[in-house]
Structure 1
Amino acid sequence: MAFSVLTINPGSTSTKLARFEGEGCVWQDVLRHTAEELAPFGTVSEQLDFRLGLVRSALAAHDGGAVRLDAVVGRGGIIDPLPGGTYRVDPVLVDRLRLGRPWDHPSNLGGVLAFSLADPLGIPAFIVDPVCVDEMAPEAKVTGLPELPKPSLLHALNVKAMVRRAAHDLGKTWNELNCVVVHLGGGVSVVAHRGGRAVDVNSANEWGPFSLDRAGGLPVGEFVRLCFSGRYSEGDIRRKLTSGGGLRAYIGTNDMLEVNRRIQAGDDEAAFYCRAMIWQIAKEVGAQAVSVGGPIDAVILTGGIAHDAGFVRLLLERVQWIAPCLVYPGEDELLALAQGALRVLRGEEPAQDYASSVLRQ
C-alpha cells in the first residue's frame, strides 16, 4: 500500500495543501486568507490556531475525517543553517520555528502545522530542504569583509527536486550530478550543485542578478552613499532591495505577463531591461559554472518564469554553450515535500535531526 502523506505550504496570504498516495496527488487545495482575517495577529506564529483550524476543516471536507495518514510534511522555514535533507519535526524544532528569527516568515509555520496535526496521531512530521540549506564550500563564504560572510539562502526545495529530476532524465544518480540550477521566480537563485551539495549560490535578496522586484548586486560605494543620503530610512532601503528593485524599479511592474504585453506592443524600454536581466542571470550561470569546478552535466532552468518561452530562448542563447540545458517550468513544491517524506518512509534515506545538524557559524 502506498504511503499517505499530507503536505502543507503556508504563504503570506494562503495555505496550500495536498494529500498524496505515494507520489500521486489525491487532492489539492488553496486556503486563501484575507488581510482582514490576518490583521488581528501581530506575528506569523500567532496565526497558528487560525490556520490549523482551516487545515483541519479542509481535511474533513476532502477526506471526511477518516483518512489514514502516514506522515505530515510542511514547508521548511528560515531558521539556522542546515545541510539539505528531510528533517523530523520535534518540540525543539517547533520552538525554533516559532521564534520567527531572523525573519518572521510564513514558511516557518509549515513545520509547526505539520507537528500539530501529526503528533496527536502518533505519526511523524517533517520539513524538507528549507530555504536556509547551507552546503556552501568554505571558500564561497568569504566576501572580503570578515564581518560579512556570505550567507546561504536559496530556493532549496525546488532546486533539490529539479536536480533529482534531471538526474533521473539523464540516467544518473542525483548525488553524482554536477550542474548549475537557475530558479527563475520573484527572486533568482543560481546554484552550483556538485555531487549532491549546493556548493555555491547567489543570495536572491542580496546579490547576483536583479529580478522582477529585487535589486541584486549593486555598486557598493554608491549604495553606501544612497544609504547615508538622508533620503531613506533603513526600512525604505530594505524595501528597495527586496521588493522595489529590479524590473519594478525600471518599468513599474513585476508582472512578467505585463512585461511581455509591453514588449509585444513595441515598448523598447521594457525589452531593454528584460534583456539586461537575462544578461545578468547568464553572467551568474557562468560564475556558478566555475564554482562547480569541473565538467557540468546540465544547466537546469526552473521556476515560474521558465514558462516564458521567449525569456527562456534568450537565456539559452547565452548559456547553452556551457552544458546541455534542461527546462523544467514551475515549481511543484507540494510534490517535492511529499517526495522528501516518502524517501524517509521508504527507507531510502534517514530523517535528519535538527538539533544535531545545525551548522555553527
Structure 2
Amino acid sequence: MNKFKILTINPGSTSTKFAIYDGQEAELEINLKHDTTQLKKFNRTIEEFEFRKEAILTALHQKEVEFESIDAISARGGLLKPITGGTYIVNQQMLADLKTGIYGEHASNLGALIAQEIAEEFDIPAYIVDPVVVDEFEEVARVSGHPKFERKSIFHALNQKAMARKASTDLGVDYQDLNLIVAHLGGGISIGAHKQGRVVDANNALDGEGPFTPARSGTLPAGDLMRLSFSGDYSLSEVYKMIVGQGGLTAYCGTADAKEIEEKIKGGDQEAGFYYRAMAYQVAKWIGAVGTVLKGEIDAIVITGGIAYSKIFTEMIIERIGFMAPVKIYPGENELKALAQGALRVLNGREEPKIYN
C-alpha cells in the first residue's frame, strides 16, 4: 500500500483544526482557537472563508510545511443535500451549494471551499468525507408519526463511520458484513444502527431527538413543548436555545463540561450525580431502541466521542446494555484521522470516489 501525504481540515464553530498525515500517522496537528469577537464581525459563515484560509496557511508556513509534498486535501463536509456515505470529490455543484447555504449554514461548510482553493494552487485533489448529512435510512425510519414531519438523518457520520470501521478491523470482519450500534458521546449525542455498512437509522443529533446531552435537550414531551412555545413567555429563538445550546446538563447543572460535572460529583454534589446518571440512562435506553432496528442481531456496540474518556459514564451505560452485545470503547472524536483515512481509501484504490450532483 502506497503512503500518501494528506492535509486534513476540520472547521468548527469557534476553532479550525487541521493536520498533516503521512499515511495514517499524523506528522502535525494544529487547533486554532478563534476569538469570538473576531468571528462576530462576520454576518454569515461564508464571510469567514478568507479569515480561516489565511489562518491555516499562516500556521502551515510557520511550521515550514512543504505544500509540494502534499498529495491530497481532505476536509470535513458541510450541510449539503442528503447523500450516502463515502469520500466525495469536491466539485462545482458542491461548492455552489455550500456558498449559498441552501441547506443550512455551519462552519463545516467552509471545509470544502478552503480545501478546493488550496488544492487548485498545487494541482492536487480535494475531497470531503462522510458529512453530517449522510443519509442511508431505510424508508420506514423516515416516518415520524405525522405526514408534515419527516425524520432526518443528521448525526456524527464522520466519526461514527470511522469507529465502525475500526471495530470491524478489530473484529476481523468487513464493515459491510457487520451489524453495529455506534454511540457518539460529545456536546451532541448520536446513536446509529449500522447495518452491513449503512447507517439505516439514527437520532437527529442536531436539534431535538434522542437522549439529552451536555448542551441539548433531546426528545422533549411534545405537548408540554407546544404549550410552552405558545405561552407568549418565550420567543422562537429562546425556545430553540432551550433545545440546542442551553438544554441538557447545561440547564440542569449549569455547565456542559462533563469533567466539571464529575468534579462536582466527587465533591458530593448529589444533584449533579443524579442528572449525570439520567443522561447515561437515556443513552442506554436509545441504544436499546436502536437494537430493535437490527432485530437484536448485533455484533458489537461501539462507544466513542469525548465523553467516552469517562470511565464513570461508560460504566453506567454498559451496566444497562452489556447484555446486548460486546462493547468496544474508542474515546475521542478522531475526525482528522477519519478524514485522512477517507482520502487514503480512494488514493490506494480501495474505494471509488463519489460524485456530488
For 1:110 and 1:77, how far apart are their aligned partners in 2? 7
For 1:248 and 1:335, how far apart are their aligned partners in 2? 30
Task: Tell me the residue number matched to 1:358.
Answer: none
Task: Tell me the residue number matched to 1:276.
Answer: 278
SS in 2 for 1:26: strand
The answer to which of 154-163 and 252-261 deviates more is 252-261
Q: 2:162·2:338 contact (CA, 8 Å) conserved in 1? A: yes
Q: Does 1:217 align with 2:219?
A: yes
After superposition, the Cα gap between the structure-2 partners of 1:249 and 1:36, relative to the gap in structure 1 and judged at 3 Å, is closer
SS in 2 for 1:97: helix
For 1:310 and 1:64, how far apart are their aligned partners in 2? 41
For 1:211 and 1:233, how far apart are their aligned partners in 2? 23
For 2:247 and 2:35, how far apart are their aligned partners in 1? 26
5+ unaligned residues in a row in structure 1: which ranges?
356-361
- Number of residues paired by the alignment? 355
Task: Tell me the residue number matched to 2:39.
Answer: 38
5+ unaligned residues in a row in structure 2: which ranges?
none
**1:13-52 correspondence to structure 2 within 5 Å:** 13-52=14-53
Q: Does 1:53 align with 2:84?
A: no
Task: Tell me the residue number matched to 1:311.
Answer: 313
State the shift of 1:42 in Å.
1.1
The answer to which of 196-205 and 157-166 deviates more is 196-205
Task: Tell me the residue number matched to 2:145.
Answer: 144
State the shift of 1:64 in Å.
4.4
For 1:66 and 1:297, how far apart are their aligned partners in 2? 42
1:157-212 residue CA offsets vs partner (Å, 9 max, x unmatched): 00000000000000101111101100000111011110000000011221111111
SS in 1 for 2:278: helix
Q: 2:215·2:246 contact (CA, 8 Å) conserved in 1? A: yes
Letter in 2 for 1:200: D
For 2:94 and 2:238, how far apart are their aligned partners in 1? 33
SS in 1 for 2:173: coil
Task: Tell me the residue number matched to 2:248.
Answer: 246
Task: Tell me the residue number matched to 2:190.
Answer: 189
Q: Does 1:229 align with 2:231?
A: yes
For 1:198 and 1:321, how far apart are their aligned partners in 2? 22
For 1:24 and 1:273, how far apart are their aligned partners in 2? 39
After superposition, the Cα gap between the structure-2 partners of 1:260 and 1:294, relative to the gap in structure 1 and judged at 3 Å, is closer
SS in 2 for 1:132: coil
Q: 1:180·1:192 contact (CA, 8 Å) conserved in 2? A: yes
For residue 288 of structure 1, the aligned residue among 279, 287, 290 is 290
Task: Tell me the residue number matched to 2:200.
Answer: 199
The answer to which of 9-18 and 339-348 deviates more is 9-18
Q: Does 1:161 align with 2:140?
A: no
State the shift of 1:67 in Å.
3.8
1:22-60 residue CA offsets vs partner (Å, 9 max, x unmatched): 111111112222123223221111111111112122222
Task: Tell me the residue number matched to 1:359.
Answer: none
Could you tell me the TM-score, scaled by structure 2's length? 0.97
SS in 2 for 1:295: coil
Task: Tell me the residue number matched to 1:98.
Answer: 99
For 1:213 and 1:39, how far apart are their aligned partners in 2? 21
Q: Does 1:131 align with 2:132?
A: yes
For 1:269 and 1:153, how far apart are their aligned partners in 2? 31
Task: Tell me the residue number matched to 1:10.
Answer: 11
After superposition, the Cα gap between the structure-2 partners of 1:51 and 1:307, relative to the gap in structure 1 and judged at 3 Å, is same
For 2:318 and 2:340, how far apart are their aligned partners in 1? 31
For 1:56 and 1:41, how far apart are their aligned partners in 2? 20
For 2:269 and 2:110, how far apart are their aligned partners in 1? 42
1:57-102 residue CA offsets vs partner (Å, 9 max, x unmatched): 2222223445411111111112211100000001111111122243
State the shift of 1:294 in Å.
4.4
Letter in 1 for 2:218: G
Letter in 1 for 2:39: L
Give the share of equivalent positions with the same residue, in percent: 45
For 1:2 and 1:345, how far apart are their aligned partners in 2? 9
**Two-structure CA RMSD over aligned residues (Å):** 1.2
SS in 2 for 1:20: strand
Q: 1:199·1:292 contact (CA, 8 Å) conserved in 2? A: no
SS in 2 for 1:311: helix
For 1:56 and 1:255, how far apart are their aligned partners in 2? 31
Task: Tell me the residue number matched to 1:118.
Answer: 119
The answer to which of 26-35 and 185-194 deviates more is 26-35
**1:248-267 correspondence to structure 2 within 5 Å:** 248-267=250-269
For 2:173 and 2:123, how far apart are their aligned partners in 1? 37
